[in-house]
């Protein structure tokens, strides 16, 4: 049995449209097209969020070890660093994880803010 990944399908005809321009579901073609565009945007955003989740969870674990704190506090520390440095949370997480892998050092603004956030939690 073959399966079709819904993400790979292109929607070319969302509904049959009678001559009066009203789709069978009671929406106009323009409304359906707007909804399709909105849903495509949402799917794209969700895919980005899912891709970022793994590295954010790794960074949260690192903060938990460094600060000996529960997951929620580690999350708050990462959010605080992100907000105080005007850096996206996923970028903060990627930088932190890269340091653990020995690929690079934590950039100064992030390192300084991480240290400050950890001090504030003690």
The candidate with the shortest Cα–Cα distance to 63, out of 55, 51, 84, is 55
Q: What is the mean pLDDT of residues 105-115?
A: 94
Rounded to whole angstroms, the Cα distance separating 99 from 105 reads: 5
Tens-digit pLDDT profile for residues 11-42: 555 555 555 555 567 778 888 899 999 999 99
pTM recorded for the entire structure: 0.64
pLDDT of residue 1: 43
| Domain spans in the chain, listed from the N-terminal domain onward | 16-121
Q: Is the pLDDT of residue 44 over 50?
A: yes
């Amino acid at each position: 049995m073959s399966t079709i990944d819904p993400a790979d399908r292109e929607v070319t005809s969302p509904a049959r449209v009678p001559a009066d321009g009203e789709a069978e579901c009671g929406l106009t073609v323009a409304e359906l097209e707007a909804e399709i565009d909105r849903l495509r945007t949402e799917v794209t955003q969700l895919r980005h969020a899912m891709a970022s989740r793994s590295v954010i969870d790794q960074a949260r674990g690192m903060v938990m070890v460094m600060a000996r704190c529960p997951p929620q506090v580690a999350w708050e520390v990462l959010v605080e660093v992100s907000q105080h440095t005007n850096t996206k949370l996923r970028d903060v997480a990627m930088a932190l994880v890269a340091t653990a892998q020995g690929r690079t050092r934590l950039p100064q603004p992030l390192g300084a803010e991480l240290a400050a956030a950890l001090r504030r939690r003690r």
